[in-house]
Amino acid sequence: METEFAPAKVNLTLHVTGQRADGYHLLDSLVAFADVGDRITVRSAPTLTLQITGPRAADLPVQDDNLVLRAARLMGATAAITLEKTLPVASGIGGGSADAAATLRALARLGQRPLPDAAAVLTLGADVPVCLAGTTVRMQGVGERLNAVSTLPEGWLVLVNPGVAVPTPAVFKALPRKDNAPMPREMPRLRSAADLAAFLQMQRNDLEPPATVITPAIRQTVQALGAQPGCLIARMSGSGATCFGLFADGLTAASAARALARQYPAWWVQAGAIRQPHQAMRATT
């Protein structure tokens, strides 16, 4: 039996820099991971099966096209897989992609086999390669170009989802222009959470304005996060609707999460530290 953590993916920045002839959008994104997520458990079995448990299981019925099952088929593996679902479904923090990546890692250990090559992994979805890396990277292209980023300073994230669905194709369609400026060529040296927040303030999530028009609850979520004591910056992740607030210490982040959960009991609210490279390495060994 092997167990693997599937951490939430957070787009600290998300610049849309172009669109290919096949319709895929080109991105430039600083991606981090939080120590909040799902969990995959795999056991040797003669056939491939999937059971979904956890607090969000009701939102994700088992279907043949589930990314966990697709990842297992890509590995050519048969196993009894259990997905403990904690992250909201289709919420801009890579839940399905993180689950697929965790499945690949767990099955590789279980069967003592290599991971699929990068091109094969990309067929599962644009976010699966970055989730397979599981550590802070600069993600470019359609998700296939990953460049290591020097360790981010210690910081904590409060993740909030207001419980509304955001249609990703509609968000991209509503984007006024597709050839926006990328991030700077060189990442600055960031020594503190305040430095990170200052850098993020100079960058963007190009999908946040159109997503907010389509789903006004996103604006309320960002404002509620930004109003919490100690929040250094609040922004939407991915194509929404999950938003994040950056905090300098864990106690302040936990306090903000408790306050938001009390004020908005229907919202999904979780606090967690930004995962560092050694945590990603430990998760894959």
Compute the distance between CA of residue 172 and CA of residue 25 in angstroms, rounded to an integer. Answer: 9
Annotated catalytic residue: which of 9, 38, 85, 206? 9
Tokens at 224, concatenated: 């509620």
Q: Is 173 an active-site residue? A: no
Sign of CA dihedral 42, 43, 47, 53: negative
Is 139 strand, coil or helix? strand
**Cβ(208)–Cβ(215) below 8 Å:** no
Annotated catalytic residue: which of 38, 99, 127, 206? 127
The angle formed by the CA atoms of residues 229, 274 and 230, to the nearest 5 degrees, is 10
Give the torsion through C-alpha atoms of 270, 207, 130, 248, to 10 deg. -40
| DSSP, residue by residue, 141-155 | ETTTEEEE-PPPPS-
Compute the distance between CA of residue 170 and CA of residue 241 in angstroms, rounded to an integer. Answer: 13
What is the identity of the amino acid at 234?
A
Q: Bridge partners of 145?
A: 140
**How far, in Å, are 88, 89, 154 from residue 95 at the CA level?**
7, 6, 23
Q: Is 178 an active-site residue? A: no
Residue 274: how many CB atoms within 10 A of its CB? 23
Query: What residues are annotated to the active site?
Result: 9, 127
